[in-house]
Amino acid sequence: MTLPARPELAGAAPYGAPQLAVPVRLNVNENPYAPPAAVIAAIASRVKAAAAQANRYPDRDFTELRHALRDYLAEESQATYLSADQIWAANGSNEVMLHVLQAFGGPGRTVTSFSPTYSMYPEYARDTFTTWLPGEREPDFSIDLERAIGHIDQTNPSVVLLASPNNPTGTAVPPATIEALAKHTAGRAILVVDEAYAEFRRPGTPSALALVPNYNHLAVVRTMSKAFAFAGVRLGYLAGSAELVGYLRTVRLPYHLSAITQAAALAALEHRQALMAQVAQLCVTRDYLAAKLRERDLEVPDSDANFVLFGRFADRHAVWQGLLDRGVLIREVGPDGWLRVSAGTEEETDLFLDALADVLDAPGRVG
Ligand SMILES: *Cc1c(COP(=O)(O)O)cnc(C)c1O
């Protein structure tokens, strides 16, 4: 018997970056360093206290966590003007953006972004019955303001998703472009700046958080998955106007953020100094990785994230497979011809570079 699924789900595959148990895993932009022992201990102690009250529902407005996230953003981006009611959080920033689409998208409405970009955006659209009409980035993956504005005027979206630094290209959108898009979308759309990789941005690349007080329709989305070495916990968050956050609160399921999650996130935020030291090391590794790939005459867009895109290959799948055969898993994603690799530990990064040299220099080379 066939099941009465929505027609748009016919033949659709669930999100599925391969989870393979190989020695070097550089495929999903995780922080390669495990949390330091002090952080693990703090998580355990906070979670133990939360477990003692597990018979009760958690604080559904996660008040303490909102204050801690506000304080962290004030420190990280000089965003001292945010109040706790301007912060939202959910189980990963994917869920935060789903809340945005649930509140501001919907049947008869359109969401746009600029491709190539994060592969989950069309899924949020599908799952909220919102029409997905992306525009395009330029060949160097930058966003041409006039073209972007033309696309917005043509498609009339109620939500614009702008990843900066972008995945899978690593490229950041200049602040002047973001502000011009904020001005252009005021009163017509929500502008989400997805800053999943913000902590890895290079000096001189500002966060869009500075714009939050000036535009009640602009929201900045962050995550603890990448910089905080916290992908396994699932904690993403947003900073925006209290009015915008109010709508997200309306569409969330009751008690969506478990007491265990809230406890673990609070512990990690308390230990942010130790975790940010890892971020600084990863930025050094990212730049080293880009330099080494360029030495091989490969193209690498400037990255403000913890990964780089590199290419181009006539047969990228063969390169990806060749690396996997040597125990190195990276990601086959983005425009044809390109591959994406995350900055690993120094050892993992060198293992990747050695394996790549092996694949590309082998007799009867591929790619
Ligand atoms: C990794 C990533 C996210 C974060 O996802 P979580 O649900 O917070 O783990 C969001 N946006 C982009 C562009 C990403 O690459």
The reply to whether ligand 1 has any atom less than 6 angstroms from the CB of 118 is: yes
Q: What pLDDT score does 365 carry?
A: 65
Which of 69, 118, 161 is the best mutation target for the ligand 1 pocket, counting ligand atoms within 8 Å of the beta carbon and taking the most? 118
| 254-296 pLDDT tens trace | 999 999 999 999 999 999 998 888 999 999 999 999 999 999 9
The reply to whether ligand 1 has any atom less than 6 angstroms from the CB of 128 is: no
**CATH number at 18-33+278-361:** 3.90.1150.10
- Residue scoring higher pLDDT (90 or 12): 90
Tokens 């952080």 appear where? Answer: 39
Closest by CA position to 313, among listed 339, 331, 295:
339
Per domain, the residue ranges of the chain are 18-33+278-361, 37-271
**Which residue minimizes the CA distance to atom 10 of ligand 1?**
196
> Is pLDDT above 80 for 367?
no
Phi and psi at residue 247, to the nearest 5°: -70, -35
The confidence band for 67, taking pLDDT boundaries of 50, 70 and 90, is very high
Partners of 329 in beta bridges: 25
* Number of neighbours of residue 354 by Cβ within 10 angstroms: 12
Q: What pLDDT score does 345 carry?
A: 97
> Is pLDDT above 70 for 180?
yes
pTM of the model: 0.96
The reply to whether ligand 1 has any atom less than 6 angstroms from the CB of 163 is: yes
Longest Cα–Cα distance in the chain: 64
Q: Please identify, by atom number, the ligand 1 atom nearest to the C-alpha of residue 226.
A: 1
37-271: in CATH 3.40.640.10? yes
